Amino acid sequence: MINRSLLGLVLLSSIGGTALSNPVEPDLAAVRNATERFRDVNVALAEGYIRDPGNVCDTATMMGRSAALGSMGVHYFRPDLLGITAPPNPRVSGTGTHTDFNKPAILIYEPQADGSHQLVAVENLVFIKAWEAAGNKAPPTYQGKSFDKMEDNPATKVDEAHMFEPHYDLHVWLYRDNPSGMFAQFNPNVSCAHGSTQMAGHAAHGAGK
Protein backbone atom coordinates (compact mmCIF):
# COMPACT_ATOMS: atom_id res chain seq x y z
CA MET A 1 0.00 0.00 0.00
CA ILE A 2 1.45 3.36 -0.95
CA ASN A 3 0.38 6.79 0.24
CA ARG A 4 0.12 8.97 -2.89
CA SER A 5 1.14 12.37 -1.59
CA LEU A 6 4.12 11.16 0.41
CA LEU A 7 5.26 8.59 -2.11
CA GLY A 8 5.56 11.22 -4.82
CA LEU A 9 8.21 13.05 -2.84
CA VAL A 10 10.06 9.84 -2.09
CA LEU A 11 10.09 8.57 -5.65
CA LEU A 12 11.28 11.78 -7.24
CA SER A 13 14.48 11.46 -5.26
CA SER A 14 14.79 7.68 -5.60
CA ILE A 15 14.02 6.79 -9.23
CA GLY A 16 16.48 4.31 -10.65
CA GLY A 17 17.07 2.31 -13.81
CA THR A 18 15.04 -0.66 -14.89
CA ALA A 19 16.16 -3.92 -13.30
CA LEU A 20 16.08 -7.15 -15.28
CA SER A 21 15.21 -10.67 -14.20
CA ASN A 22 17.95 -12.94 -12.99
CA PRO A 23 18.17 -16.00 -15.30
CA VAL A 24 19.20 -18.29 -12.41
CA GLU A 25 16.37 -19.16 -10.02
CA PRO A 26 17.56 -19.52 -6.41
CA ASP A 27 15.99 -22.09 -4.11
CA LEU A 28 14.36 -21.13 -0.81
CA ALA A 29 17.49 -21.85 1.21
CA ALA A 30 19.53 -19.54 -1.01
CA VAL A 31 16.93 -16.78 -0.73
CA ARG A 32 16.91 -17.10 3.03
CA ASN A 33 20.70 -16.88 3.15
CA ALA A 34 20.62 -13.82 0.90
CA THR A 35 17.95 -11.98 2.88
CA GLU A 36 18.59 -13.02 6.49
CA ARG A 37 20.36 -9.73 7.20
CA PHE A 38 17.11 -7.85 6.58
CA ARG A 39 15.72 -9.16 9.86
CA ASP A 40 17.34 -5.95 11.06
CA VAL A 41 15.18 -3.28 9.43
CA ASN A 42 18.03 -0.79 9.76
CA VAL A 43 20.07 -2.91 7.35
CA ALA A 44 17.22 -2.76 4.84
CA LEU A 45 17.02 1.01 5.16
CA ALA A 46 20.77 1.34 4.72
CA GLU A 47 20.60 -0.70 1.51
CA GLY A 48 17.97 1.52 -0.10
CA TYR A 49 14.65 0.04 0.97
CA ILE A 50 12.01 2.67 1.76
CA ARG A 51 9.15 2.08 4.17
CA ASP A 52 5.68 2.69 2.77
CA PRO A 53 5.34 6.42 3.57
CA GLY A 54 1.82 5.79 4.86
CA ASN A 55 3.19 3.09 7.20
CA VAL A 56 0.08 1.04 6.39
CA CYS A 57 -0.15 -2.58 7.54
CA ASP A 58 -1.97 -4.40 4.74
CA THR A 59 -4.78 -6.82 5.58
CA ALA A 60 -6.91 -9.08 3.41
CA THR A 61 -10.03 -7.04 4.14
CA MET A 62 -8.39 -3.93 2.69
CA MET A 63 -8.45 -5.68 -0.68
CA GLY A 64 -11.95 -7.06 -0.38
CA ARG A 65 -10.91 -10.48 0.85
CA SER A 66 -11.97 -12.52 3.88
CA ALA A 67 -10.50 -11.48 7.22
CA ALA A 68 -9.72 -15.16 7.84
CA LEU A 69 -6.95 -14.93 5.24
CA GLY A 70 -4.98 -12.69 7.57
CA SER A 71 -2.57 -9.91 6.71
CA MET A 72 0.57 -9.05 4.77
CA GLY A 73 2.24 -6.40 6.90
CA VAL A 74 4.13 -3.17 6.23
CA HIS A 75 5.96 -2.98 2.90
CA TYR A 76 9.50 -1.67 2.44
CA PHE A 77 10.42 -1.30 -1.23
CA ARG A 78 13.28 -0.53 -3.60
CA PRO A 79 12.10 2.01 -6.25
CA ASP A 80 15.05 1.14 -8.49
CA LEU A 81 14.28 -2.59 -8.54
CA LEU A 82 10.61 -1.88 -9.24
CA GLY A 83 11.67 0.45 -12.04
CA ILE A 84 9.26 3.11 -10.80
CA THR A 85 9.24 5.94 -13.31
CA ALA A 86 7.16 8.66 -11.63
CA PRO A 87 4.93 9.38 -8.65
CA PRO A 88 1.44 7.83 -8.79
CA ASN A 89 -0.86 9.64 -11.21
CA PRO A 90 -3.23 8.27 -10.14
CA ARG A 91 -1.49 4.90 -9.73
CA VAL A 92 2.06 3.72 -9.15
CA SER A 93 3.63 2.45 -12.35
CA GLY A 94 7.06 1.32 -13.47
CA THR A 95 9.23 -0.42 -16.03
CA GLY A 96 11.07 -2.97 -13.90
CA THR A 97 11.03 -6.68 -14.71
CA HIS A 98 13.10 -7.74 -11.70
CA THR A 99 12.17 -11.17 -10.31
CA ASP A 100 15.34 -12.29 -8.49
CA PHE A 101 14.40 -13.29 -4.95
CA ASN A 102 18.04 -13.19 -3.89
CA LYS A 103 17.53 -9.43 -4.08
CA PRO A 104 13.78 -8.94 -3.53
CA ALA A 105 12.24 -5.62 -4.55
CA ILE A 106 10.01 -5.64 -1.46
CA LEU A 107 10.43 -6.70 2.16
CA ILE A 108 7.40 -7.18 4.41
CA TYR A 109 7.44 -6.59 8.16
CA GLU A 110 4.95 -7.15 10.97
CA PRO A 111 4.54 -4.21 13.39
CA GLN A 112 5.32 -5.12 17.00
CA ALA A 113 3.88 -3.75 20.25
CA ASP A 114 7.12 -1.89 21.00
CA GLY A 115 7.04 -0.09 17.65
CA SER A 116 9.66 -2.27 15.98
CA HIS A 117 9.12 -4.22 12.76
CA GLN A 118 9.75 -7.97 12.36
CA LEU A 119 10.57 -9.43 8.94
CA VAL A 120 7.95 -11.96 7.79
CA ALA A 121 8.25 -12.22 3.99
CA VAL A 122 9.98 -11.10 0.81
CA GLU A 123 8.20 -10.15 -2.40
CA ASN A 124 8.80 -9.30 -6.04
CA LEU A 125 6.45 -7.25 -8.22
CA VAL A 126 6.47 -6.48 -11.95
CA PHE A 127 4.08 -4.27 -13.86
CA ILE A 128 2.17 -6.19 -16.52
CA LYS A 129 2.71 -3.59 -19.24
CA ALA A 130 6.48 -3.64 -18.74
CA TRP A 131 6.58 -7.43 -18.42
CA GLU A 132 4.72 -7.92 -21.71
CA ALA A 133 6.74 -5.21 -23.45
CA ALA A 134 9.83 -7.26 -22.64
CA GLY A 135 8.34 -10.09 -24.74
CA ASN A 136 6.78 -12.19 -21.99
CA LYS A 137 3.40 -13.74 -22.70
CA ALA A 138 2.90 -15.62 -19.40
CA PRO A 139 3.24 -14.37 -15.82
CA PRO A 140 6.63 -14.75 -14.12
CA THR A 141 7.08 -17.83 -11.97
CA TYR A 142 9.14 -18.90 -8.99
CA GLN A 143 9.60 -22.52 -7.90
CA GLY A 144 6.80 -23.50 -10.29
CA LYS A 145 4.34 -20.98 -8.84
CA SER A 146 3.00 -18.25 -11.13
CA PHE A 147 2.97 -14.75 -9.70
CA ASP A 148 -0.49 -13.52 -8.67
CA LYS A 149 -2.21 -11.08 -11.01
CA MET A 150 -3.39 -7.91 -9.30
CA GLU A 151 -5.59 -5.28 -10.92
CA ASP A 152 -8.31 -3.03 -9.60
CA ASN A 153 -11.95 -3.82 -10.27
CA PRO A 154 -13.66 -0.44 -10.83
CA ALA A 155 -17.01 -1.98 -9.83
CA THR A 156 -15.90 -2.41 -6.20
CA LYS A 157 -15.24 0.11 -3.45
CA VAL A 158 -11.93 -1.44 -2.43
CA ASP A 159 -8.74 -1.16 -4.46
CA GLU A 160 -7.66 -4.71 -5.24
CA ALA A 161 -4.39 -3.48 -6.79
CA HIS A 162 -3.58 -1.26 -3.77
CA MET A 163 -2.98 1.88 -5.87
CA PHE A 164 -0.71 0.16 -8.38
CA GLU A 165 -1.15 -0.24 -12.12
CA PRO A 166 -2.00 -3.87 -13.06
CA HIS A 167 0.87 -6.05 -11.95
CA TYR A 168 2.09 -9.50 -11.02
CA ASP A 169 3.46 -10.14 -7.54
CA LEU A 170 4.52 -13.06 -5.38
CA HIS A 171 5.13 -13.33 -1.64
CA VAL A 172 7.55 -15.80 -0.09
CA TRP A 173 6.85 -16.34 3.63
CA LEU A 174 10.33 -17.38 4.66
CA TYR A 175 10.22 -15.71 8.04
CA ARG A 176 6.73 -16.53 9.32
CA ASP A 177 5.02 -19.91 9.03
CA ASN A 178 1.96 -19.62 6.79
CA PRO A 179 -0.76 -22.30 7.00
CA SER A 180 -2.08 -21.02 3.66
CA GLY A 181 1.19 -21.90 1.92
CA MET A 182 4.65 -20.48 1.30
CA PHE A 183 3.46 -18.36 -1.65
CA ALA A 184 0.01 -17.27 -0.46
CA GLN A 185 -0.89 -13.59 -0.71
CA PHE A 186 -1.87 -13.27 2.96
CA ASN A 187 -0.84 -14.97 6.18
CA PRO A 188 -3.24 -15.76 9.06
CA ASN A 189 -0.23 -15.77 11.38
CA VAL A 190 0.60 -12.13 10.65
CA SER A 191 -1.16 -9.45 12.68
CA CYS A 192 -1.73 -5.75 12.09
CA ALA A 193 -2.89 -5.24 15.68
CA HIS A 194 0.04 -2.90 16.29
CA GLY A 195 0.01 -1.15 12.91
CA SER A 196 -2.20 1.26 11.01
CA THR A 197 -4.75 -0.22 8.60
CA GLN A 198 -6.11 3.16 7.53
CA MET A 199 -5.10 4.84 4.31
CA ALA A 200 -6.32 8.16 2.97
CA GLY A 201 -5.77 7.17 -0.64
CA HIS A 202 -7.69 3.96 -0.11
CA ALA A 203 -10.67 5.80 1.34
CA ALA A 204 -10.66 8.36 -1.43
CA HIS A 205 -10.53 5.62 -4.04
CA GLY A 206 -13.63 4.00 -2.62
CA ALA A 207 -15.49 7.25 -2.22
CA GLY A 208 -14.97 8.10 -5.86
CA LYS A 209 -16.82 5.03 -7.13
Write phi, then psi, for 133 (nearest 5 degrees): -65, -25
Decide if 102 contacts 30 (C-beta within 8 A): yes
Q: What is the pLDDT of residues 162-196, one digit of tens each?
A: 677 889 999 999 999 999 999 999 999 999 999 88
Domain residue spans of the chain: 4-200
Could you tell me which of 52, 155, 147, 152 has the C-alpha nearest to residue 107?
Answer: 52
Q: What is the pLDDT of residues 97-117, one digit of tens each?
A: 999 999 999 999 999 999 999
Q: Please give the distance of CA 123 from its chain centroid, rounded to a whole number.
A: 6
Greater confidence, 45 or 16? Answer: 45
- pLDDT given at position 204: 30
Decide if 97 contacts 34 (C-beta within 8 A): no
- pLDDT given at position 55: 86
Decide if 68 contacts 5 (C-beta within 8 A): no
54-63, 140-149, 166-175: least confident range: 54-63
Q: pTM of the predicted model, to two decimals?
A: 0.83
Greater confidence, 7 or 60? Answer: 60
